Structure 1
Amino acid sequence: METQSMLVVPVGEETEFNVYVSTQWPTLIQEAVAETLDIQSSRVTCHVKRLGGAFGGKVIKTSILASITSVAAWKTNRAVRCVLERGEDMLITGGRHPVLGKYKVGFMTDGRIVAADFHYYANAGCFVDESVLISEKILLHLDNAYNIPNLRGFSVACRTNLPSNTAFRGFGVPQGVLVVENMINDVAMALGCPADQIREINMYTGPSVTHYKFEFSPDNLQRCWEECKLKSEYGIRREAVDQFNQHNRWKKRGISIIPIKYGIAFAEGFLNQAAALVHIYKDGSVLVSHGGTEMGQGIHTKMQQIASRELHIPTTKIYISETSTNTVPNTCPSAASFGTDANGMAVKNACEILYQRLEPIRLKNPTGSWESWVKEAFFEKISLSSTGFYRGHDLYMDWDKMKGQPYSYFTFGVCCSEVELDCLTGDYRTVRTDIVVDIGRSLNPSVDIGQIEGAFTQGLGLYTLEELKYSPTGLLYTRGPSQYKIPAVCDMPLQFNVYLLSDSNNPHAIYSSKGIGEPTLFLGSSIFFAIKDAVAAARSDSGLMGPFTFDSPATPERACLACSSPFIQKIPASQPGSFTAWALDI
């Protein structure tokens, strides 16, 4: 992935600056540079052509580096470029917040959970960044897909002597919901019944209300669950896994099925607005500018589709050059899986205005071409340029009253994964994964399926492979691909199926679509819980039953030790204080 990268160019004699930067939030860069140099924001223009990946790490941290670079450009009156080397980037930018989760749970013998109490401790690093917002989002997803009558949560961002952690795809939800699902698994182990039964018993059904008094319909969640069980042949494969484990001592298989209910949009209502600028030129070509940034998620492609649909012209006539603060001011960050929802509505608004202006021309010459209508409009002195604006939903969360509507809607998904584990080495192979996701009426199924596959793969890395190691003095050891293992082709499921839920509508977003950037990352945890299921089978052969601690990521070392085979049991456990740890357990 592209590291932090920027170029600051002084322009003319009026203390103007052009900033070419890889960021998710151009307006923040503009404001940060202006404040650093003590000039007006109108003298700073931020340009974003595209990003080579971001995932949240280019929202806040980029503004700090851009400010430093702008000082160098101002002092020297020359263009200054700053591009971090991979090791520097991992040291400076920070990453996803490590979270320690603890819980207490009360449940009945039939598997119904009647009460749960969660405590989360997020490692924020040396300054606050977005840690408080992440802690809040963890609490807003305490329930995941389950209707627990008595639910209490406590979340805190802990200041530590480490580089500050920042936003990362999922914004705290992948860490927090993992603890919730682990609780479900532990309840199942304590009762000696399958985990999917506990999930079904406690899942939201009918008209429902979250723990913060937000009403929603879980019908599509239930549909995703049933369709995933059907498509994945879960019942048959569950029996096959049990049979396999009975006949194999040193290889075990595990299977899990995991749901997600993910809130879309910003709880801070003012961040849900967006604007756009659309020009029609005399040759019929169209230039679209909007406030979203293209980072591989396909937002420009979708904006072209929306403009094409509203103007009734092919996408070949529509061009998006860049995202710039001198065409669309006061933008909000491309984040929270809300970029297409907000900017799409703004582009739609601008195109509707233009198409309406052309209506008299079309009525006068109904058989004319688009190009002829545009030329006639120019001669008729009709403006062929328009801004569009989307106010967004008035979302809020009142933490004093513990109620609110922090999200526009929920995106639902369910994933079933099966793994085969080598109990002697801890190595595993994902045999099959099936995903069913409710994304409403997709604007572009190819792009959205790519997002689902990419997010799942990133989640797979988060929960089974990727681990930051710090020295006892706080120095990061894992500063690149040679020390930090990310998913490779060999880590992908041998059989990988993605299904989009049919006949789904969403009245709260553009053309009844749904945001999909972040929600399916958590579904990568189905690999983690499948590994845990296989480890539980291995432990039962050693006479160990019931819940056990199994931290994420589920690396081969952790899986091997958790299996507690006769060979592992022969190794005496190290006593605290008898050794010096080579790395901190964070």
Structure 2
Amino acid sequence: CMVEVIDEGITEDYKIELAQSFLYKSIVNALSRTKPSKVPKPIRSAGEEKWGTWPVSDGQQYSKTQSWKAPVSLPIIKLTAMYQAMGQLEYTHDMPLPPTGAHLAFVQSRRALANFELHTPGHTPGASARKRLSALHKHLAATFTGFIRLVTATDVSPHGNLQGMGADQPLFATDQVRYYGQAIAVVAARTEQEAIDIANYISESCVHYETVKWDGQWDQAWTKPILSLDQAIEMDSVFPDCPKPANFVSHVWKITRPGSDLSWVENKKPLDKRIRIRKAKITGVPVLIVEGTQTSGSQIHFYMEPQGCVAQHGNEQVMIVHPSTQSPMEMHQTSALALGVEYNQVKVRVKHVGGGYGGKTEQTRFVTGATVVAAQALAKPVRMALPREEDTAMIGKRHPYYGQYQIAVGSNPDDPDTFGRIIGFHSKMWGDGGAYYDCSFIVSNCIQLRVDNAYRVPNFENQLDVCRTNKAPNTAFRAFGDIQGKLIVENAIDDAAAAIDMDPARLRRMNMYERGDVTPFGQALSYCYMRQVWDYLESTADLAKRREQVETFNRENKWRKQGIYMLPVKYGSGYNLVMLEQASAVVSVYANDGSVVIHQGGVEMGQGMMTQIVQVASYVLNVPMDFIRLEDPDTSVIPNPTSTGGSTGTAYNGEAVKRACEQLRKRLMEFAYEVRNTKGDEWCHQQGVDFWNYGEYKPPGEQPDPDKRGWATKLANGKMIWQNLVYLAFSERISLVSAFNAPVPGGTTPVPALTYKCKKDQPNIPGIEVDPNAVPGGAVDSFVGFTYSAACTQVEVDILTGEVKVLRSDLVYDMGWSLNPALDTGQVEGAFVQGLGYVFTEKLVFEGRGTDDDGRLNTLNTWRYKPPAITTIPLELNVHLFPRDLAIQTKPGCPDEVSVVPENPNDLFSAKEVGEPPLVLAASAFFAVKAAIRASRVERELSPMFRMDAPATVQEVRRACEVDPRSMDIA
């Protein structure tokens, strides 16, 4: 039989271009070695063999600390680092399964859109579902010795199968599948490999597919899978607001700055991707209006630990669930719904998670739910551990986006007040939500509230819809849609700068927000210092000198070009829903030795949250870090933990721990001073509780005397005063347990300037019924705060092949005052490199050649999918945590009066979020590549205006270069 050639997305055109280019490069290489005088100097670099010869990457890290906050603010190694290095840290996949347990594997759909039936091979049509399932069980038991049971939707409790934010995605498909890889059933077997083999057998041989049948009258086109965003836009396959099962689900359709003049905006067909420039006047200002588009692709989470879950009954039939998840509360909800039991009959315990990036929030429901249903059906412990390929096929990914923009920029060079000013911005965006709602509307709302980025634009509007396609439902991913939105906006600004021939860095600087400005949706930027961060980066990155070096390099080399680019990122923090802006903690002290154990709801998934929370507790309680242990999340202790996502884990749970520790400390101090008043100083000294003689207590925020340690002082017997005081308090029946639910401050004001799509304009698509009585809308709250960061990236591009190398990246990240500069710098670096993967190499390719396999994801693993590698890392990567004391402002009208922009009192010890925003800084590398390509195009007398989609793979870069093979000469 013929072996299928998997489509990896490489076009025949690119293969031909590569062959031509390599032939030309080999000729130049040979001539340069044998007859160098025959090869003009600008041509020689075409023959250089740079791949594999780049030097080892290097870089510097810069930060300031406030040592008086120790251990807060110090660069302390992650507490679990050594255990991880030695393989002694247990993850969900490592949990031992009792001898009576069963292993699970998913039966997955092999169609993107179809009706289906489970059956035995060679079945007789017409049998009832029950008979078919019974026959299949008998067939599997006779065929596979390790087979135990097949678990399907019939094993789920009534009303428990449809889950997710739209209450529309089934744990197990019943009679219809809507994407390739969707879960149909679960196989239970004696070993993991047997379960996988049986599941594959069923997927291949025991599922009968038919053309999908929709309720109602629909065009024949809806019976075929929709596999691209363009196709969805063309068919108007758009998710409506207020679906009947979850009528509260709706999205922000438009954000329009109040008072905007949008009369200059022209109506365009959604898929009109032409770049156009036209002249106009807006409020009397002459402008150039640039019209264009930008597409950004998807991205696989590629966490090191694939999805997994272990479930078993405890005493009194309580279900104990161990999922690999960022969201214990959501997994608790899913488990209770799937089992049809009260929430107090389920315990969710989360060990360390091997990476999440958003992929272990909503989509983990469909692993956890299936696992607990199997545990209930079999009445025995079960483990689900997805192989990489099955995980990638089944679990949703980052949302692809397409944007169509019109940007108006002041075009009169004789008017310095308006030249380069962004007078107006209008865009329409479409996201690919996949087959089900998931959290696509939350992601789209985050894009809406962050799409203005760092720029004050007087006439502003953005419109956004989410499309339905027949792919795995796309979900949360690090930065929550922000890099997709910012690629669209920043590409518009890049085009505008090219249209008026202005340095894009200068154009950006003159349009940046300042303190006191208001966003289009109505939130004041009370602590903004974007321009100060920008100026600091321009200085530390030595932009002016390096730009001259890049220009010199480009003049001297025809087929290799460099680009250097600066980009700002303003990033709003929080969930925009006040209900989620909270966290709980329980701090307990053991009377006999004074050691502390803390329960909280945050999940450790490699980001170092546990270490930073222990630092906070150590500082507030004034006890050593090694006296404190942080427990794994357990919903029977912390029952409603907010998901660890959106870079909120450390800030929210750290705030709860801080407040609980402050409460406990206050209680112990009051007790101690009461004892002092009643017993006297001498008695207290004899009992070893007189901490006041060893340094006056200074509350957080005030600098203590480092030589006086209060109750952390060790006495002659080796005990700390703390230990004596704790035991004395216990003997007097003073509680050594402190619980606190912290409402995270800020973010409580609803956003005012939002527009929802009215009911008459709601789309109508098969398979979704809208609640006719629901009104689109709902509360969207303001951000808790903002980070202000920037990046400067320099790249080198091989114009003939499309190869890109990041030479240097300088990142200035706004942490406020970091809780732990070592961990936070690591998060900045990791997020940035993950962003580089997104904008350069991580392209998903779906089968679409008109066969039954249409919709199959072909890039399932590293053989065909390319996450960041060592070659992705910049040769020089410098990270500066912006020195908060350099956020200098001048008083309006009094340039000599300077002060520091006040710190946001809502921040935890003045520390801001990290984890998500640095990923967006990778867009600087994308536009540096565009700058390099533009230099080549202009030199070859092509238009400086061109389209380059993300990811800018070698193929996409080569396409954007538009090299005519006739120009490859030795002249």
Supply the distance in 2 between the matched residues of 1:566 and 1:218 (Cα, whole angstroms).
51
SS in 1 for 2:408: strand
Q: Secondary structure at the match of 1:491?
A: coil
The answer to whether the aligner puts 1:89 opposite 2:391 as a matched pair is yes
Letter in 2 for 1:3: P
Cα distance in 2 between the residues matched to 1:218 and 1:381: 46
1:373 aligns with 2:676: no
Q: Is the 8 A contact 1:213 1:404 kept in 2?
A: no
Q: Larger C-alpha radius of gyration, 1 or 2?
A: 2
Counterpart pick for 1:222 among 509, 523, 531: 531
- The equivalent residue for 1:44 is 346
Deviation at 1:6, TM superposition (A): 0.6
> How much has 1:401 moved relative to structure 2?
6.4
The one-letter code sitting in structure 1 at the alignment partner of 2:751 is M
Pairwise CA distance, 1:189: 1.0
- The structure 2 residue matched to 1:23, chosen from 325, 328, 336, is 325
Q: 1:320 aligns with which of 630, 639, 645?
A: 630
Cα drift, residue 566 of structure 1: 2.4
* TM-fit CA distance, 1:163: 1.2
How do 1:72-221 residues align onto structure 2 when only pairs under 5 Å count? 72-109=374-411, 110-217=419-526, 219-221=528-530
One-letter amino acid of the counterpart of residue 313, structure 1: V
Give the equivalent residue in structure 2 for 1:273: 582
How far off is 1:217 after superposition? 4.0
Report the 3-state secondary structure (helix = DSSP H, G, I; strand = E; otherwise coil) of the residue aligned with 2:861.
coil
Structure 2 CA distance, aligned partners of 1:15 and 1:156?
Answer: 45
| Partner in structure 2 of residue 545 of structure 1 | 943
- Cα distance in 1 for partners of 2:869, 2:335 equals 38
Q: CA deviation at 1:223?
A: 1.1
1:406, distance to aligned residue in structure 2 (A): 1.9
Counterpart mapping for 1:331-350 below 5 A:
331-350=641-660
Question: Quick check: 1:506–1:514 contact (8 Å CA) kept in 2?
Answer: no
- 2: CA distance between counterparts of 1:321 and 1:508? 26
- Report the AA paired with residue 366 of structure 1: D
Partner of 2:307: 4
Candidates 896, 919, 928, aligned match of 1:530: 928
SS of the residue corresponding to residue 512 of structure 1 reads coil
Q: How far 1:568 moved relative to its partner?
A: 8.1
Distance 1:568 1:50, change over 3 A: farther
TM-superposed CA distance for 1:331, in Å, is 1.0
Q: Does the aligned pair in 1 maintain the 2:505–2:565 contact within 8 Å? A: yes
Could you say which residue in structure 2 is the equivalent of 1:438? Answer: 814
SS at 1:263 equivalent: strand
1:362: Cα distance to partner?
Answer: 3.6
1:406 partnered with 2:787: no
Identical-residue share of aligned pairs (%) = 37
Q: Is the Cα contact below 8 Å between 1:214 and 1:404 reproduced in 2?
A: no
Quick check: 1:208–1:218 contact (8 Å CA) kept in 2?
no
Letter in 1 for 2:311: V
Higher relative CO (Cα under 8 Å, sequence separation at least 6) belongs to 2
Partner of 1:582: none
Partner of 2:738: 386
More deviation, 499-508/327-336: 499-508
Selected match of 2:606 from 296, 301, 305: 296
Does structure 1 residue 495 correspond to structure 2 residue 876?
yes
Residue 417 (structure 1) shift: 0.4
Mapping for residues 213-292 of structure 1, pairs under 5 Å:
213-217=522-526, 219-282=528-591, 283-292=593-602
Deviation readout 1:500-529 (Å, 9 max, x if unpaired): 111353321111110112111110111111
Partner Cα separation in structure 2 for residue 161 and residue 404 of structure 1: 29
| Cα contact 1:506–1:513 (8 A) shared by 2 | no
TM-score between the two structures when normalised by the length of structure 1: 0.95
**Ranges in structure 1 where 5+ consecutive residues have no aligned partner:** 571-586
SS in 1 for 2:751: strand
8 Å contact 1:228–1:436 — kept in the other structure? yes
Asked if residue 329 in structure 1 is aligned to residue 710 in structure 2, the reply is no
Change (3 A) 1:23 1:395: farther
Which amino acid letter does the alignment assign opposite residue 406 of structure 1? S
Residue pairs, 1:473-492, within 5 angstroms: 473-492=854-873
In the other structure, the counterpart of 1:506 is 904
For residue 480 of structure 1, what is the amino acid of its counterpart? N
Q: Distance in 1 between matches of 2:884 and 2:320?
A: 47
- In structure 2, the CA distance between the partners of 1:432 and 1:523, relative to structure 1 (3 Å rule), is same
- The aligned counterpart of 2:236 is none
Taking structure 2 as the reference length, what is the TM-score of the superposition?
Answer: 0.58
Aligned equivalents of 1:568, 1:33: Cα separation in 2: 64
Cα distance 1:560–1:131, how it changes in 2: closer, same or farther (>3 A)? same
SS in 1 for 2:906: coil
- 1:388: how far off? 1.3
Secondary structure of the structure 1 residue equivalent to 2:909: helix
Per the alignment, in what secondary structure is the counterpart of residue 510 of structure 2? helix
- Report the CA distance between 1:541 and its aligned residue: 2.0
Contact kept? 1:542, 1:566, Cα under 8 Å: no
Q: 1:568 to 1:423 in 2, by over 3 A?
A: farther
Contact 2:408 2:425 (C-alpha < 8 Å) held by counterparts = yes
Aligned to 1:574: none
* TM superposition shift of 1:298: 1.1
Q: Specify the SS of the correspondent of 1:346.
A: helix
CA shift in 2, pair 1:175/1:533, >3 Å: same
1:34 corresponds to which residue?
Answer: 336
CA deviation after TM superposition for structure 1 residue 136, in Å: 1.2
Q: Distance in 1 between matches of 2:581 and 2:516?
A: 26
The reply to whether residue 515 of structure 1 matches residue 902 of structure 2 is no
Mean Cα displacement is larger for which, 395-404 or 364-373? 395-404
Mapped to 2, the partners of 1:525 and 1:421 lie a distance apart of: 16
TM superposition shift of 1:488: 1.1
Structure 1 CA distance, aligned partners of 2:460 and 2:634? 45
Q: CA deviation at 1:557?
A: 1.1
Report the equivalent of 2:9.
Answer: none
Cα displacement string for residues 181-238 of structure 1 (whole angstroms, at most 9, x for unaligned residues): 1011100111122111111121113421000111114642111100110011101111
* SS, match of residue 433 in structure 2: strand
| Corresponding residue SS for 1:386 | strand
User: After alignment, is 333-342 or 36-45 more displaced?
Assistant: 333-342
Query: CA separation in 2, counterparts of 1:3 and 1:72?
Result: 19
Q: Kindly tell me: are residues 400 and 502 of structure 1, through their superposed partners in 2, closer, same or farther at Cα, counting changes over 3 Å?
A: closer
Q: Give the conservation status (yes or no) of the 8 Å contact 2:522–2:751.
A: no
Q: Distance in 2 between matches of 1:405 and 1:127?
A: 25
Q: Secondary structure at the match of 1:322?
A: coil
Deviation digits for residues 25-73 of structure 1, max 9, x if unmatched? 1011111111111111111110011110001111111112111111110
Q: Where does the alignment leave 5 or more consecutive residues of structure 2 unmatched?
A: 1-303, 412-418, 677-688, 692-719, 757-778, 849-853, 886-902
Choose 313-322 or 14-23, whichever is displaced more: 14-23
- Give the AA of the match of 2:343: S
The residue type paired with residue 287 of structure 1 is: V
Q: Provide the C-alpha distance between the structure 1 equivalents of 2:557 and 2:823, rounded to a whole number of angstroms.
A: 41
Q: RMSD in angstroms over aligned alpha carbons?
A: 1.6
The residue that corresponds to 2:697 in the other structure is none
Measured against aligned partners, the alpha-carbon deviations of 1:443-465 in whole angstroms (never above 9, x if no partner) come to: 11111101100110011001111
In the alignment, the residues of structure 1 paired with residue 311 and residue 828 of structure 2 have an alpha-carbon distance, to the nearest angstrom, of: 35
C-alpha deviation, 1:553, in angstroms = 0.6
